[in-house]
């Protein structure tokens, strides 16, 4: 696993910031899905049980991304994994809306696409951060 020592340059600062923001946004989203699954289900459409499962996943994933952001070194492999998962989440969210695999309310469909755009933007910013390390 390739790592970059933060003390080498300040170039890792941007990547750390983007990873940390991703972790916070993901964690908050997961907490809301877990703690208020019934209310969110009524608003967005997906079953409360599904939202609770997504909430647990997002909390764990957000914690992992936060740990990656806070380590003494920035792992290129770890960051690539986060980018890959963020891209997969983005594509899966769009596919869930387009295919009707998940029954969304109108607000839920808009929310799913909006959060897909945010997650896709995090992936792009993380790619930019990796490039700054070269």
Count of CA atoms in the C-beta half-sphere (13 A) of 58? 22
- Inform me whether the pLDDT recorded for 6 exceeds 60: no
Q: Does any domain span residue 68?
A: yes
Give the pLDDT band (50/70/90) at residue 133.
confident
Q: Does any domain span residue 67?
A: yes
Q: Does any domain span residue 1?
A: no
Q: Does any domain span residue 23?
A: yes
Tokens of 56: 């647990």
**Alpha helices by DSSP H, the chain:** 12-35, 37-44, 48-70, 76-99, 106-132
pLDDT above 90 coverage of the chain, percent? 87
Domain count, the chain: 1
The CA-atom distances, in angstroms, between 27 and each of 31, 63, 66 are: 6, 7, 9
| Residue-number span of the structural domain to which 52 is assigned | 10-132
Q: What is the pTM of this model?
A: 0.89
């Amino acid at each position: 696993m390739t790592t970059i020592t933060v003390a080498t340059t300040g170039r890792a600062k941007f990547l750390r910031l983007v990873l940390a923001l991703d972790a916070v946004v993901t964690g908050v989203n997961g907490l809301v899905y877990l703690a208020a699954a019934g209310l969110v289900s009524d608003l967005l459409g997906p079953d409360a049980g599904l939202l609770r499962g997504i909430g647990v996943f997002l909390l764990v994933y957000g914690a992992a991304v936060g740990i990656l952001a806070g380590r003494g070194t920035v792992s290129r492999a770890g960051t690539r994994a986060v980018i890959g998962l963020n891209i997969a989440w983005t594509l899966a969210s769009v596919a869930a809306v387009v295919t009707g695999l998940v029954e969304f309310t109108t607000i839920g469909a808009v929310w799913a696409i909006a959060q897909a755009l945010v997650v896709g933007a995090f992936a792009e910013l993380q790619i930019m951060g990796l490039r700054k390390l070269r």
